[in-house]
Amino acid sequence: MELKAGSHIHLMGICGTAMASLAGLLKDRGFKITGSDLNPYPPMSTQLESLGINIMKGYKAENLHPKPDFVIVGNVISANNEEAQELNRLGIPFTSLPKAMGEFIIQNRESVVISGTHGKTTTTSMMSWVAEVQGVKPGFLIGGIAKNFSQSFKNPEGNYFVIEGDEYDTAYFDKVPKFVHYKPKHVILTSVEFDHADIYKDLQAVKDSFAKLMHLIPENGTLLACADDANVMELRKLARCKNSYSYGIGKGDFQAEILSQDEKGVNFQVRHGGEVLGPYLVSLTGDYNILNATAVIGLSKCLGFSESNIKKALESFEGVKRRQEILGEPNGILVIEDFAHHPTAVRETVKGIQKKYPNRKVFSVFEPRSATSRRKVFQKDYVEAFKGSHEVLLAKAFDQSKIDEENRFSSHELVADLRESGVTAEDFDSADQIVSALKSRAKRGDVILIMSNGGFDGIYVKLMNALA
């Protein structure tokens, strides 16, 4: 559908990371943008406010009066939502976020899709920054705020568009993974594990969704697949593109070798064929981030980007808000925020931070908030994820009212299992109780790592104030 400049576009579920980014892209193109959301919280709500986009709180029929010209429906909206029903009653044309991205923004550009269960946001940010330093003037959409750009989106001036390819479904009227609509030509596949238990019944269903992505890469496209992941290697066989490479730490077509690591970051090189690329320096920690960087190096080489620009970009890469983000060091206590919520991400994040600060005690604070982490499916996996932690403080799971009792995750049970395995752990009913416990326990030189994929009842500000 053709939309005239200045048309009014309304976004339902506007504070989702991708939705807020799309809102920015469309406003940048001269459209009038409004949006609604149930629970706006930073950093997306603040990004939207800074763009002058009005957020209507709650989903109501009246949000569609005056009547917009077009509506984009987020995947948080169900068919019986009051605003969705009004949308149908009024007969306003509408689409989903991924379809709008493909049709209005990506169009016929070189689409670079970063996909996988973990590492998408950081890898998409890194790839966007390398393309920017290379001078190809890319557009991008990231599921977080890249610090090098201080926002999560940019309209393309050149021929590249870099996008985070989420496997979550598109909308209530379009039950396919989002990346299906992103016209994938160059793809990084970081990892494939069971996740999103609210929409996928098992690992096979997740693999089936990624199989769709493999089939979509054209023959003249590119695939970088993680050699450290057996599921990814199995899926790689489905791709028909001529340029298909694997990457890993010490294995694959692009092999990373870690040379040294300290609080400043990680020094590493990459072997490819008979060539040694690098050395590269990145300020991020953890093996998973070296894998992310290696994938970006591999794809950048395939796209013909220069070695000096790749080096320069990685060295100056500042990371992403809420991904190993240092919030401050009040009274000598370092506070770090991270988005980790899947057991694998939690395990790797805790391991990476404890390795980065080897002489400091790390308090690992976790809120089970994602649709999967609030369910029992990963109850025992979290025991493994927190093994080896210095001390663990768990919030009770966020709103479980829509989950059957026998399927609910239990922080209390996890604490009992962790204590049995020798880990110091405790669960709390509120963020305020966690803040109070940390205030009395944390000492100068300690590190507090907070992991949640949501607002966590404002714990970040509360803790910084309490420690100060």
pLDDT values of the chain reduced to their tens digit, one per residue, 468 residues: 678 889 999 999 999 888 998 999 999 999 999 999 998 877 788 889 999 998 999 999 999 999 999 999 998 899 999 999 999 999 999 999 999 999 989 999 999 999 998 889 999 999 999 999 999 999 999 988 899 998 889 999 999 999 999 886 778 888 788 889 999 999 999 999 877 666 668 888 889 999 999 999 999 999 999 999 999 999 999 999 999 999 999 899 999 999 998 878 899 999 999 999 999 999 988 788 999 999 999 999 999 999 999 999 999 999 888 888 899 999 999 999 998 888 988 998 999 899 889 999 999 999 999 887 888 888 999 999 999 999 999 999 998 888 888 889 999 999 999 999 999 999 999 999 999 999 999 999 999 999 998 889 999 999 999 999
Structure tokens at 42: 């930073």
CATH of 325-467 among 3.90.190.20, 3.90.1150.10, 3.40.50.720, 1.10.10.10: 3.90.190.20
Place of tokens 């406010």: 49
- CB neighbourhood size of 88 (10 A): 11
Cα 88 from chain centre:
32
pLDDT score at 410: 92
pLDDT of residue 399: 87
Q: Which of 2.40.160.20, 2.40.10.230, 3.40.50.2300, 3.40.1190.10 is the CATH number of 108-315?
A: 3.40.1190.10
Please give the pLDDT value at position 199.
64
Question: In the 8-state DSSP scheme, what is residue 208?
Answer: H
Q: Is the whole model's pTM more than 0.75, yes or no?
A: yes
Q: Which residue has the tokens 């093994």?
A: 387
Per-domain boundaries in the chain: 8-99, 108-315, 325-467
Find out whether 453 and 196 touch, Cβ atoms under 8 Å: no
Homologous superfamily (CATH) for 8-99: NAD(P)-binding Rossmann-like Domain (3.40.50.720)
Give the contacts of 125 (CB within 8 A, at least 6 positions apart).
142, 144, 146, 148, 317, 319, 320
325-328 vs 334-338, strand pairing mode: antiparallel
Angle subtended at Cα 376 by Cα 371 and Cα 378, rounded to the nearest 5 degrees: 80
Q: Where are the alpha helices (DSSP H) in 282-362?
A: 287-302, 307-315, 343-356
| Three-class SS of 160-201 | EEEEEECCCEEECCEEEEHHHHCCCCEEEECCCCCCCCCCCC
CB–CB of 326/283 below 8 Å? no
Q: What's residue 150's pLDDT?
A: 82
**pLDDT of the residue at 84:** 96
Alpha-carbon gap, residue 154 to 164, rounded angstroms: 13
For residues 90 and 114, the answer to whether their CB atoms sit within 8 Å is no
Distances (CA, A) of 10 to 36, 90, 221: 8, 14, 34
pLDDT of residue 251: 93
